[in-house]
Structure 1
Amino acid sequence: MVRGEQVNLKKVILFTTFFFTIYYSGKGCLLPYLTLYFRQLGLSATQTGMLFGGKALVGFWTGPAWARCARRYKKRRIILMISLFMAIAGNLGLTLIPPVDKALSLVYCPNDNHTDGVHKGGGNGHTNITHTSTNPSLVQSTPSPEKVTEPNVRLTSPTFGSFSNEATATSEHSVFANALQKSYDRYKKKQNAKGKEVSMEKFLDWLKSHDADLYSAVLAHTLPPDFGDRQKREDSASDDADTSINSGTTRWSLKGLQNQMFTLKDQFMDLEYRTFIFALSVILIGELFASPGQEICEDALYETLDSVDEVEKYGSHRSYGLFGYGFFAFITSIIVDNASCIIFPDTSRLMIYFYSFAIFFGLAFLLAFCYPIYTDSKVRNRSKYVKGLKAILSSRSNAMFVITMIFAGAFQANITNFLFWLLQDLGGSELLFGSVVFISTICEIPLLYLGIFLAKKISNIGTVALAMFFLSVRCLLYSFLQHPWAVLPIELSHAFSYGALMGAVSSLAEQIAPPGEERSVEHIFMSLYWGFGYGCGCMIGGYLYDKVGLVILFQGSAVLAFIWATIVIATAKLVPQKKKTLHYASLLQGGDEDDISDDSDEMFSDDWLVNALNEK
């Protein structure tokens, strides 16, 4: 579509709305559930955070760069096609990565015949204890009653689950040893840093205070009462005594267990490292080429509407896209929830999410051949992001919004990446995960239309503070969840914690941006949220998850969000907000609208219309 060509406005709006509905629906089928897949691969929270963080940061830089190149060299359609194809290839490439342990597909699948009960993991993702007094099949089969500290205790772990047959006994032992090895490595590192002695006795004392679940698991394997007294020795020392850890009919020697722990370290950690490297490579390469797709479509639609002076119709496609995102995320979760854990040989049911994504994006790829792309024969050299960034930096009051978007994006990363881990540990199903996505997305739609109205009623600063307050409450309530389905009412707050914040951003963009550059300012703020802030939050949140646990992570996010909301309110009156000033003399000078600037009021101090109005 070139300048001067007749535009069928209804056809353009109908087609682009359908395209974005398909595009967002494909995202909804997969993106919310990727964190579950990475957990099933056996990756830690730190590694999962690095995957999502790396993806966000790559998109933060490459998306605008690709979009600008596509516009400059008039290759938008080609780059759009490449972007959609690489999105499909990159995400399907993740399905080819072997998990650390194939049993993980059964551990996180509570409603299949392969499991005896609902998995209930802990916040650290390692070995945990589940108590039961009603179902004898849930009790570990090997220990004899008189040997077990707590009769109705069984070991469950993300790496060996709740199995009771003999075929999995060795796997349970191996992964128990791996969990113990990881804790021992952390203990050893801390002791060496302090220059203190490293011994098995002190390790158990440390384990009791730092990982009660794993310590209880050690007790469940019946360590002798005098274990600590008999096993004082340095980490490097060798003891050939046959000190036994009895577990019913199974006899484990302490030396054998320790040797196996160190033997498994090379095998298990090497496999885990390879899995992480493969996943990181696939994600970064895929995102490198897939990042500009949505931005190219948005730019093309906006410029097409601008060419016929119908810019006010821009944005109507978003509500349909969000509905498709939430609705098909829910539908796909129902299908997965009712599917068997293993749908094909060695194929987890989570693959349904990937296949659904590929179907929708494949359809979007075909539609991209006909997507309306406006081609302006006059290519402007000046980047719209430079002008938008200049408008944001023109006032110190805008710094509050910049920092807020980074903080809010970081807090949102913790929710997006690890909320489903928490619900999974509480026994939540795929149906619940889909319901969470559906409710939070649907609640966001009304704020697309009411967000700017709310910001104008209570001011931009007030809306930002309100959004951060709701985000604080939301994180705090997550930390106290005891039942998985109790999360659904909390998701209603997403309308204000995110929707209201976006309304404030849109309102601010209208106030500070040069004429015609409001969308550029809004896009920069959104990039700070979903790019820089979200990416940093993923990495920091994943690291803190492994160090302090998810409860502390959510509570810390809640405290920081509340403190920042208070700071925003306190400083609102101290730093006056600069509003955009439109100089009529600059408009009468003619020329390109890109040359219009509001940098200096003195430049147009002789504006005859402004002076006339002031004299009057």
Structure 2
Amino acid sequence: MGKKAAMQKSKQWNVKGAMRLTSVFHFLQSCGSGCLVPFLTLYFRHLGLTATMTGIIMASKHLLTLVWRPVSSILARQYDKRRTVIVGSLLSSALVVLILLLFPSAGTKAESGRCNASQPSADFTDGSDFTTLESMIIPSQSNVTVYSVNHTTVIMEQPDDLNSTYTPTLVNSSSNWSRRAIRYLRELKEQQEESLHTEFLGSLKAMDAQHQMFFLVLIVIGLWEFMAAPLEWTADDGLYEYLDFVDATDRHKGVTVWKPLGTAVGNGVVGILVTSLYCRTGTVAEFYSYTAFMILTVPTAALLPLYIRKRDRPTSGGFKALQLVHRNSQALLCAITVVLTGIASSAVSDFLLWHMQDHNATEIHMGISLALAHLSQAGFPLYAGHLAGFLKYHGWLLVLAVIALSIQCLYYSFLWDPWSIIPAQILAGFSTGALWWSVAAQCEDIATPGTEETLIRLFEGLPLELGSGLGSLMAGFVMQKFGIKILFQGISVILAVWSITLAALKWKIPRQRRINYSRLLTADTGEISESESDQEKDWLETAMEDDNQKNNWTIAKS
């Protein structure tokens, strides 16, 4: 009996097995995210949404994540519902996102050069002067469409039953039948506008199709993000507490490398699938791939090692982390840099694929280029230590990251063909990769016992999501008014100016050293002085200096 209990206990605290299972979980989950999230804004363009509308939707997504992700993580821990939240988040997000496939495209720009033979409108407009009159005389709710082809009016009345067929009626534009048809349609529009005031959601029905699509997509994306946001932090918290109980928190960093690798695989797989099946399925493969990976992740989520403490943990870690950042000038510079890079990164992720599509790029070009960026980020830690040693201080990697991102944005504005983006994507290791490596090192510099993970979460949550929300919002308006080249070039200039400012401030502001262990033994963490001189001169160093002086005096005397 005792042997059996010992075997169960050793199986329960199998750290290596827990790390393997968690790595598989994050790999599959990141594969699913890589299949869909980078291509969302491209799908919004397919639906007919403008750049401003797309920016508002993505900004709402980031701001919802900023608020809901930490709150949901705390609630899941407090009520001991982490596994329920993880599994529920996987399944609900996988199903909710499919609602977007129910929306018809409201776009007016067809993708030329792809599957032309399958477009039925080609025969109808071949060699004709085609003008759509729907926006001028037809209400958006009407099932009647009027076209003008070679001075001939085409009236197409679509039946209520989508399975039935209909035949377009051709009449001469100068005939009485045409005048009667136009008069009838105008009267129909007036009647429908009057009835809208008494109907539910009448204000939404009164909008044109594009604005209707915008609000519907905004609602669905908000619901989807509400379901998906708690997933990653809740799983990470459970694993960290599990490793903390067995004193193996140093292994927690080994899981992070699987996230960019999984995202890269998802980018590549969906790029190949969509390009191969585009003429048959369009872009639905992105959504179904995401759903499939989320469902495949459920079995690993059900077996995740989630240790729940018997006693309540203090919930003031976030406030302590904020105080540590506020008291350290180098950490404040790091936080400001994360906000600015979040603005730039969100603008790039939202509209880079639009720019590539304008240069005749297909999903396979986009998927491979995105995968290269994530692989470059995953490989940066292999040589980050040597690079930081060469620069004499890891904080200079932060300056390097801003410079690299500025060069990337400038390069994006001069794309000339789909494959020309590859050099800029390889540079992502020196931009995004160097940024987060430097952030992690800065957190280690200022962290007190028990706040290391909270500090990293603070940078990932508040500055990054806040900057991403502002970036998406501003990028949508700038692109709508000035174009994508001006957008990327403007971001590049802002980052270049900040890199110079950041280098000057880092040169001027002295770096605060880590708190000595002897000081931690004799003082409470809340009583630590902010002064660098107090941190350098503790009782142990003073005693050692006195001892050295005494020995020197003895030698001189002899």
Alignment of 1:162-173 (within 5 A): 163=122, 165-166=124-125, 172-173=131-132
**Deviation of the 1:324 alpha carbon:** 2.0
Question: Which of residues 453, 463, 467 in structure 1 aligns to 2:397?
Answer: 463
Q: What residue identity is the alignment partner of 1:409?
A: G
Question: Which of residues 465, 477, 500 in structure 2 aligns to 1:543?
Answer: 477
Question: Which of residues 260, 266, 269 in structure 2 aligns to 1:322?
Answer: 260
Check if 1:415 corresponds to 2:341. Answer: no
Q: What residue identity is the alignment partner of 2:247?
A: D
Specify the alignment match of 1:208 in structure 2: none
Specify the alignment match of 1:580 in structure 2: 514
Give the distance between the partners of 2:397 and 2:296, measured in 1 at CA: 39
Specify the alignment match of 1:375 in structure 2: 308
* Cα distance, 1:579–1:521 mapped onto 2, change above 3 Å: farther
Give the distance between the partners of 2:456 and 2:277, measured in 1 at CA: 42
Check if 1:31 corresponds to 2:34. Answer: no
Specify the alignment match of 1:431 in structure 2: 364
**Deviation of the 1:20 alpha carbon:** 0.9
Question: Which of residues 353, 356, 378 in structure 1 aligns to 2:286?
Answer: 353
* Cα distance, 1:551–1:404 mapped onto 2, change above 3 Å: same
Give the distance between the partners of 1:292 and 1:168, measured in 2 at CA: 54
Specify the alignment match of 2:72 in structure 1: 66
**Deviation of the 1:456 alpha carbon:** 4.8
Give the distance between the partners of 1:172 and 1:467, measured in 2 at CA: 50
Tell me, yes or no, if the aligned pair for 1:582 and 1:598 is still in contact at 8 Å.
no
Give the distance between the partners of 1:63 and 1:611, measured in 2 at CA: 47
Give the distance between the partners of 1:353 and 1:26, measured in 2 at CA: 9
Give the distance between the partners of 1:584 and 1:290, measured in 2 at CA: 44
Check if 1:385 corresponds to 2:318. Answer: yes
**Deviation of the 1:571 alpha carbon:** 1.5
Give the distance between the partners of 2:340 and 2:127, measured in 1 at CA: 45
Question: Which of residues 290, 304, 325 in structure 1 aligns to 2:242?
Answer: 304
Specify the alignment match of 2:546 in structure 1: 615
**Deviation of the 1:529 alpha carbon:** 4.9
Tell me, yes or no, if the aligned pair for 2:327 and 2:530 is still in contact at 8 Å.
no
Check if 1:43 corresponds to 2:49. Answer: yes
Q: What residue identity is the alignment partner of 1:613?
A: M
Give the distance between the partners of 2:57 and 2:75, measured in 1 at CA: 26
**Deviation of the 1:294 alpha carbon:** 0.2
Give the distance between the partners of 2:206 and 2:113, measured in 1 at CA: 25
List per-residue Cα deviations over 1:303-329 (Å, max 9, x = no partner).
212221222211222223322211232
Specify the alignment match of 1:108 in structure 2: 111
Give the distance between the partners of 1:605 and 1:34, measured in 2 at CA: 51
Check if 1:481 corresponds to 2:415. Answer: yes
**Deviation of the 1:268 alpha carbon:** 9.9
**Deviation of the 1:109 alpha carbon:** 6.3
Question: Which of residues 206, 215, 220 in structure 2 aligns to 1:282?
Answer: 220
* Cα distance, 1:326–1:454 mapped onto 2, change above 3 Å: same
Report SS of the residue matched to 2:307.
Answer: coil
Specify the alignment match of 2:141 in structure 1: none
Specify the alignment match of 2:3 in structure 1: none
Gaps of 5+ in 2: 1-7, 138-149, 151-171, 175-181, 194-204, 548-558
Specify the alignment match of 1:120 in structure 2: none
Give the distance between the partners of 1:319 and 1:172, measured in 2 at CA: 54
Report SS of the residue matched to 1:338.
Answer: helix
Alignment of 1:321-340 (within 5 A): 321-340=259-278
Alignment of 1:549-560 (within 5 A): 549-560=483-494
Q: What residue identity is the alignment partner of 2:113?
A: P
TM-score, structure 2 normalization: 0.79
**Deviation of the 1:114 alpha carbon:** 3.6
Give the distance between the partners of 1:436 and 1:605, measured in 2 at CA: 48
Q: What residue identity is the alignment partner of 1:55?
A: K
Q: What residue identity is the alignment partner of 1:353?
A: E
List per-residue Cα deviations over 1:398-441 (Å, max 9, x = no partner).
22111110110100111101111011011111110111111111
Q: What residue identity is the alignment partner of 1:468?
A: V
Specify the alignment match of 2:495 in structure 1: 561
Specify the alignment match of 1:364 in structure 2: 297
Tell me, yes or no, if the aligned pair for 2:336 and 2:463 is still in contact at 8 Å.
no
Which has the larger helix fraction?
Answer: 2
Report SS of the residue matched to 2:216.
Answer: helix
RMSD: 3.3
List per-residue Cα deviations over 1:340-367 (Å, max 9, x = no partner).
4342xxxxx2111000000110121232
* Cα distance, 1:554–1:605 mapped onto 2, change above 3 Å: closer
Report SS of the residue matched to 1:392.
Answer: helix
**Deviation of the 1:588 alpha carbon:** 6.1
Report SS of the residue matched to 1:597.
Answer: helix
Alignment of 1:140-151 (within 5 A): none
Give the distance between the partners of 1:169 and 1:374, measured in 2 at CA: 70
* Cα distance, 1:324–1:33 mapped onto 2, change above 3 Å: same
* Cα distance, 1:469–1:340 mapped onto 2, change above 3 Å: closer
List per-residue Cα deviations over 1:495-518 (Å, max 9, x = no partner).
111101111101101101112322
Give the distance between the partners of 2:546 and 2:389, measured in 1 at CA: 30
Tell me, yes or no, if the aligned pair for 1:461 and 1:568 is still in contact at 8 Å.
no
**Deviation of the 1:606 alpha carbon:** 10
TM-score, structure 1 normalization: 0.71
Gaps of 5+ in 1: 117-160, 179-220, 222-248, 344-348, 590-594
List per-residue Cα deviations over 1:23-48 (Å, max 9, x = no partner).
11111111111111111010011111
**Deviation of the 1:84 alpha carbon:** 1.8
Tell me, yes or no, if the aligned pair for 2:97 and 2:221 is still in contact at 8 Å.
yes
Give the distance between the partners of 2:11 and 2:76, measured in 1 at CA: 21
Tell me, yes or no, if the aligned pair for 2:268 and 2:368 is still in contact at 8 Å.
yes
Q: What residue identity is the alignment partner of 1:596?
A: T
Q: What residue identity is the alignment partner of 1:68?
A: I
**Deviation of the 1:536 alpha carbon:** 0.8
Give the distance between the partners of 2:340 and 2:68, measured in 1 at CA: 22
Tell me, yes or no, if the aligned pair for 1:586 and 1:604 is still in contact at 8 Å.
no
Give the distance between the partners of 1:539 and 1:356, measured in 2 at CA: 28
List per-residue Cα deviations over 1:508-537 (Å, max 9, x = no partner).
011011123222112211224541111110
Report SS of the residue matched to 1:382.
Answer: coil
* Cα distance, 1:433–1:81 mapped onto 2, change above 3 Å: same
**Count of residues in Structure 1 that have an aligned counterpart in Structure 2:** 480
Report SS of the residue matched to 1:516.
Answer: coil
**Deviation of the 1:100 alpha carbon:** 1.6
Give the distance between the partners of 1:335 and 1:109, measured in 2 at CA: 20
Give the distance between the partners of 1:338 and 1:78, measured in 2 at CA: 37
List per-residue Cα deviations over 1:199-256 (Å, max 9, x = no partner).
xxxxxxxxxxxxxxxxxxxxxx9xxxxxxxxxxxxxxxxxxxxxxxxxxx999xxxx9
Tell me, yes or no, if the aligned pair for 2:440 and 2:456 is still in contact at 8 Å.
yes
Give the distance between the partners of 1:417 and 1:310, measured in 2 at CA: 38
Tell me, yes or no, if the aligned pair for 1:395 and 1:577 is still in contact at 8 Å.
no
**Deviation of the 1:382 alpha carbon:** 2.9
Tell me, yes or no, if the aligned pair for 1:452 and 1:503 is still in contact at 8 Å.
no
Specify the alignment match of 1:495 in structure 2: 429
* Cα distance, 1:171–1:53 mapped onto 2, change above 3 Å: farther
Give the distance between the partners of 2:206 and 2:402, measured in 1 at CA: 42
Give the distance between the partners of 1:177 and 1:444, measured in 2 at CA: 51
Which segment is superposed worse, 373-382 or 356-365? 373-382
Tell me, yes or no, if the aligned pair for 1:451 and 1:504 is still in contact at 8 Å.
no
Tell me, yes or no, if the aligned pair for 2:515 and 2:535 is still in contact at 8 Å.
no
